[in-house]
Amino acid sequence: MGPGDSTDFTLNLGMAKNNEEGSWKPQTVAVTPPNETTALTLKWPWGPLIHQDGATHPTTFVNPIG
């Protein structure tokens, strides 16, 4: 990729209800653009997520980029 190029990706989020047992809410999300080594840190704009430690089929993941 070069300057001015763009890419896309999909975030799949396992959303939880506010104060749901086993949920957690991130404060920030870090994104590292393609061909970069420095992550951008953004405020988390969505609600709480399902806690998935040890999940064999997690519901929160990023699809392939491109």
Q: Per-residue pLDDT tens for 22-50?
A: 899 999 999 888 788 999 999 999 999 99
39: number of CA atoms within 13 Å, CB side?
Answer: 7
Q: What whole-number distance in Å separates Cα of residue 25 and Cα of residue 15?
A: 10
pLDDT of residue 39: 94
Burial of 54 (0-12, 13-18, 19+ CB in 10 A): exposed
How would residue 62 be classed by pLDDT, with cut points 50, 70 and 90?
confident
pLDDT of residue 31: 86
Q: What whole-number distance in Å separates Cα of residue 65 and Cα of residue 43?
A: 21
Q: Which residue has the higher pLDDT, 50 or 4?
A: 50
pLDDT of residue 54: 80
pTM of the model: 0.71
